[in-house]
Amino acid sequence: MSKEGYLLSSVKNAMKILRLFSIEEPELGVTEIASKIGLSKSSTHRLILILLQEGYIVKNKDNSRYRLGLSLLTLSGVIINHKEIHRESLPILQDLVKQLGETVHINVLEGSDVVYLHKVECNHPVPLLSGIGERNPAYCSSAGKVILAYQKKELINKVLQSKLSSYGPDTITNPQKLRENLLEIKSKGYSISIDELHEGVVSIAVPIRDYTEEVIAAISVVGPKHRMSEHLFGDYVQTLNRAGERLSIKLGCIETVKTR
């Protein structure tokens, strides 16, 4: 087989691997994948490593099985293993827009970036790069920071040790100050970012938990400073918290919500 033919065959087999995952089978092991696509385990493993590196699949460390990754979101706007949160969040986001009058999002963490999983715009949205599948550094957005604040120390340290570039006039680029900010956010249970990702823009976010009681996403509201005045922040947080609790309950996190 020529080099070009080998490459095309590899691409075709990689696509076959991605199509194996479904709602019924969200996770698969190497042996299962190899059997389903008719390749040896060694060849299958090489393809899996490439898909892992690019974020198209991720490994469940608890059982060494694989599932679809969020990089697919940037290609299609849809991802199977987040279908439930996407579906359940729509009416909640629609209610939030009616109550708050600003654009709202569901956000998830992908590595050290925050990815926009769902979005419902208000009548006068701020023209931001926040379409479904778009990503921004987690450390300078309210949604990214509220999710990051609840992650393991290893991930937080990785972000703090990376290059913290400035995106807005008030982006926190000092690692120690950012660490303190994350601790404060975890203590309060919400995050407020002003002029951090975009100048003149306010974003407020609260965490979303799943049935394991882990923070897996965030609900955020975004708008211009002249509409989202500081004296309204308390009302925004209260409304977002109610929405976050509703969605967390839908995802199975009943006990945590009851005891908070």
Res 110: pLDDT = 85
- Domain 3-68 in CATH 1.10.10.10? The answer is yes
- Residue closest to 45 by CA, chosen among 69, 7, 53, 79: 53
pLDDT at 79 > cutoff 50: no
Res 211: pLDDT = 78
Axis-axis angle for helices 153-160, 175-188 (nearest 10): 140
Residues of each domain in the chain carrying CATH 1.10.10.10: 3-68
190-232 pLDDT per residue, tens: 999 999 999 999 999 999 998 788 898 999 999 999 999 999 9
| Higher-confidence position of 15 and 86 | 15
pTM value? Answer: 0.67
Res 111: pLDDT = 83
Residues of each domain in the chain carrying CATH 3.30.450.40: 77-259
Q: What value does the mean pLDDT take over residues 130-157? A: 90
pLDDT at 4 > cutoff 60: no
Q: What is the CATH number that goes with domain 77-259?
A: 3.30.450.40
